[in-house]
């Protein structure tokens, strides 16, 4: 559709630091000039928009440089990981539009090899079994500003270490009684080099290896070697792993002899204003029922965004726009909203929906008449076609579109004022009725038969309103979502209160709306622009009787902004 445009952008776009590094490596012929990345989630939760950045980066870089990208589950901790998460992660990556082809891997695929490597370190005198508790080990490790002290078990013989490690593996010892540690440097300023734990005892069933193992490798001992085994060239991760890199390299240097080496590179993770991103906090929102689940449309999870009505294209464009660098950043959530609007504007058919109905009676329109008016589905899409919308004497318009005593700048309806009903006629408000509480209940208007849309006869009127016919429209539940947090920085709670004190009490409002009848057959995930209101998406909670819509995002609203 707009590929030429994308190519143009692509060729003129400046390179990020990872692209520079990769191009440099290719030029130098490093690793035979191959580019092979991986996306390595731990299956202990759902993916969120921050992961989307990483997915787009890893798969995107591979694509750009004619390389490959693997999907690898980092499943070295059986007590936290579940198959449910594996499945949701695969679904989300696919939905975003990426394909790992036949390269689906698990760190657990490599448990045998990792064990062999641990044995090698022991035999080389570079690893030892420590019998101390985690508390003692932690104590001995010291603090970043002071060196640690060496474990009394540090200088056991190779034979003793081999015997102990073997017995750890065969299940002789309870959890926590022994660990295997690398023998590196207890005085290193880098805490990760102070004899890091390689293996711990966990009598736990693993989602893939079952009961085969009761010792499991730590992240650091698994990750770089997994990269190596898969032929990864550029192992891209977030900044907090920067300090792990010397250890990543240490294992490779001490275990392998080939020239090929994966290299770890770090980038700054995505942060979004008005959003929390940590798995822990998202889990808390789910568990404590602040939201309906991981896929609640207010959640920044991929599944939440999908349900909210975001498209994969819009998320990929967003990921592209936020860029990649090493400095901490907070992206304005408005940029995400811009990205969906941009895409939906091109692809979403327009319909009329009235969220807060106010009845209009056209006093000079025949009571039994119905006209089938033909409207454009999408002015941005010449191939979008048309639809038929019934028009009759009694209509609903948006309550906001009438003011009893409107200011000059108000281009909508008021006593004696004229507006166009989009795709229909110009009408004039002659009178209105109120109930005993002063609420306006009905508007009495006249229509001008000369001004039918498309007739060529048209006076200039300032406002154009959307509408539905009272006797033809259908009811729909509309869920109006707003940002989940009141504060730009949700963690900035008053007097030490946590992020939950910043929850926006108005993040969800449910209303009963009236929509044009043609969309009766809409299916979950169908997306529309409710004209003049915003983009909406059919929710899976819809039933045959009643459609449920989620508001994805409002339209840009200069009127609303003027009044702030």
Q: Which residues inside 455-494 make contact with RNA, applying CB under 7 A?
A: 455, 458, 463-464, 466
State yes or no: residue 374 binds RNA (CB under 7 A): no
Nearest Cα to 131, choosing from 55, 80, 201?
201
Nearest Cα to 113, choosing from 325, 255, 16?
255
State yes or no: residue 70 binds RNA (CB under 7 A): no
- Comparing CB distances to RNA, the nearer of 10 and 524 is 10
Question: In sequence order, what are the beta bridge partners of 387?
Answer: 375
Which residues 6+ apart lie within 8 Å of 201 measured at CB? 168, 173, 174, 175, 176, 177, 178, 179, 214, 215
Distance of CA 468 to the CA centre of its chain: 35
**CA atoms 40, 44, 48, 50: torsion sign:** negative
Interface with RNA in residues 164-183 (CB under 7 A): 175-179
Q: How far is CA 141 from CA 117, 218, 324, in A?
A: 24, 17, 35
Distance CA 73, CA 519 (A): 41
Distance of CA 149 to the CA centre of its chain: 44
Near RNA by CB under 7 A: residue from 137, 229, 283, 470: 137
Q: How far is CA 153 from CA 69, 133, 188, 312, 440, in A?
A: 42, 12, 19, 53, 84
Near RNA by CB under 7 A: residue from 104, 158, 330, 374: 330
Contact 181, 167 (CB under 8 A): no
In the complex, the smallest distance separating the C-beta of residue 540 from RNA, rounded to whole angstroms, is: 26
- Comparing CB distances to RNA, the nearer of 469 and 529 is 529
Q: Assess whether 42 carries a catalytic annotation.
A: yes
Interface with RNA in residues 76-95 (CB under 7 A): 76-77, 80
- Comparing CB distances to RNA, the nearer of 119 and 137 is 137
Q: Angle 111-123/245-255 helices, nearest 10 degrees?
A: 80
State yes or no: residue 441 binds RNA (CB under 7 A): no
Size of the site for RNA (CB under 7 A): 95
In the complex, the smallest distance separating the C-beta of residue 102 from RNA, rounded to whole angstroms, is: 22
State yes or no: residue 324 binds RNA (CB under 7 A): yes
State yes or no: residue 74 binds RNA (CB under 7 A): yes
State yes or no: residue 551 binds RNA (CB under 7 A): no
Which one from 19, 23, 42, 442 is the annotated catalytic residue?
42
- E-strand ranges in 386-526 read 386-391, 394-398, 418-421, 426-434, 440-448, 464-465, 468-469, 474-481, 508-515
Which one from 64, 141, 261, 279 is the annotated catalytic residue?
279
Interface with RNA in residues 92-131 (CB under 7 A): none
Distance CA 536, CA 550 (A): 5
State yes or no: residue 64 binds RNA (CB under 7 A): no
State yes or no: residue 20 binds RNA (CB under 7 A): yes
Which one from 269, 281, 486, 500 is the annotated catalytic residue?
269
Which structure tokens are listed for 140? 């001995």
- Comparing CB distances to RNA, the nearer of 199 and 508 is 199
In the complex, the smallest distance separating the C-beta of residue 545 from RNA, rounded to whole angstroms, is: 28
State yes or no: residue 226 binds RNA (CB under 7 A): no
Span near RNA by CB under 7 A; candidates 9-17, 115-123, 434-442, 515-523 = 9-17
CB 95: neighbour CB atoms within 10 A?
16
- Comparing CB distances to RNA, the nearer of 183 and 350 is 350
Span near RNA by CB under 7 A; candidates 60-68, 98-106, 159-167, 237-245 = 237-245
Nearest Cα to 93, choosing from 40, 64, 55?
55
Interface with RNA in residues 238-297 (CB under 7 A): 239-244, 268
State yes or no: residue 523 binds RNA (CB under 7 A): no
Q: Assess whether 279 carries a catalytic annotation.
A: yes
- Comparing CB distances to RNA, the nearer of 9 and 116 is 9
In the complex, the smallest distance separating the C-beta of residue 368 from RNA, rounded to whole angstroms, is: 24
- Comparing CB distances to RNA, the nearer of 449 and 540 is 449
Cβ neighbourhood burial of 287 (10 Å; 0-12, 13-18, 19+): exposed
Cβ neighbourhood burial of 271 (10 Å; 0-12, 13-18, 19+): middle
State yes or no: residue 510 binds RNA (CB under 7 A): no
Question: In sequence order, what are the beta bridge partners of 374?
Answer: 388
State yes or no: residue 386 binds RNA (CB under 7 A): no
- Residues serving a catalytic function are 42, 269, 279
């Amino acid at each position: 559709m707009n590929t030429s445009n994308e190519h143009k952008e692509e060729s003129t776009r400046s390179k990020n630091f990872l692209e520079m590094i990769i191009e440099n490596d290719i030029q130098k012929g490093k690793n035979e000039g191959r580019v092979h990345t991986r996306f390595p989630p731990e299956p202990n939760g759902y993916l969120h928009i921050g992961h989307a950045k990483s997915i787009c980066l890893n798969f995107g870089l591979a694509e750009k440089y004619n390389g490959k990208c693997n999907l690898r589950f980092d499943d070295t901790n059986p007590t936290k990981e579940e198959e449910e998460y594996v499945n949701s992660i695969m679904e989300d990556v696919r939905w975003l539009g990426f394909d790992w082809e036949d390269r689906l891997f698990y760190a657990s695929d490599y448990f045998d090899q990792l064990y062999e490597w641990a044995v090698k370190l022991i035999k080389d005198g570079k690893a030892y079994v420590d019998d101390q508790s985690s508390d003692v080990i932690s104590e001995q490790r010291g603090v970043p500003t002071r060196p640690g002290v060496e474990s009394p078990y540090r200088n056991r013989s190779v034979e003793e270490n081999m015997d102990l490690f073997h017995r750890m593996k065969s299940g002789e010892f309870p959890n926590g009684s022994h660990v295997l540690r690398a023998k590196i440097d207890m005085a290193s300023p880098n805490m990760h080099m102070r004899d890091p734990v390689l293996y711990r005892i966990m009598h736990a069933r693993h989602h893939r290896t079952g009961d085969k193992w009761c010792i499991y490798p730590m992240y650091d001992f698994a990750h770089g070697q997994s990269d190596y085994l898969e032929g990864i060239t550029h192992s891209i991760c977030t900044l907090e792993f920067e300090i792990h890199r010397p250890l990543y390299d240490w294992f490779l240097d001490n275990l392998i002899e080939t020239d090929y080496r994966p290299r770890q590179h770090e980038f700054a993770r995505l942060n979004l204003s008005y959003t929390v991103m940590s798995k822990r906090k998202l889990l808390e929102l789910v568990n404590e029922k602040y939201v309906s689940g991981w896929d609640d449309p207010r959640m920044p999870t991929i599944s939440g965004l999908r349900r909210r009505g975001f498209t994969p294209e819009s998320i990929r464009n967003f990921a592209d726009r936020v860029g990649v660098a090493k400095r901490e950043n907070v992206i304005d959530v408005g940029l995400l909203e811009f990205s969906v609007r941009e895409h939906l504007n091109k692809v979403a058919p327009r319909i009329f929906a009235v969220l807060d109905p106010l009845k209009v009676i056209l006093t000079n329109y025949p009571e039994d008449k119905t006209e089938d008016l033909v409207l454009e589905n999408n002015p941005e899409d010449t191939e979008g076609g048309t639809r038929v919308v019934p028009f009759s004497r009694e209509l609903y318009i948006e309550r906001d579109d009438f003011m009893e005593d409107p200011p000059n700048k108000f281009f909508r309806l008021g006593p004696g004022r004229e507006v166009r009903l989009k795709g229909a006629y110009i009408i004039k408000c002659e009178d209105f009725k109120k109930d005993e509480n002063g609420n306006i209940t009905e508007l009495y208007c006249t229509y001008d038969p000369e001004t039918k849309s498309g007739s060529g006869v048209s006076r200039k009127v300032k406002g154009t309103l959307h509408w539905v016919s009272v006797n033809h429209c259908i009811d729909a539940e509309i869920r109006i979502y707003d940002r989940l947090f009141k504060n730009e920085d949700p963690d900035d709670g008053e007097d030490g209160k946590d992020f939950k004190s910043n929850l926006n009490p108005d993040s969800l409002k449910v209303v009963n709306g009236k929509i044009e009848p043609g969309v009766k057959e809409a299916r979950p995930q169908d997306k529309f622009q409710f004209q003049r209101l915003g983009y909406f998406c059919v929710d899976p909670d819809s039933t045959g009787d009643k459609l449920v819509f989620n508001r994805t995002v409002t339209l840009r609203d200069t009127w609303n902004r003027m009044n702030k």
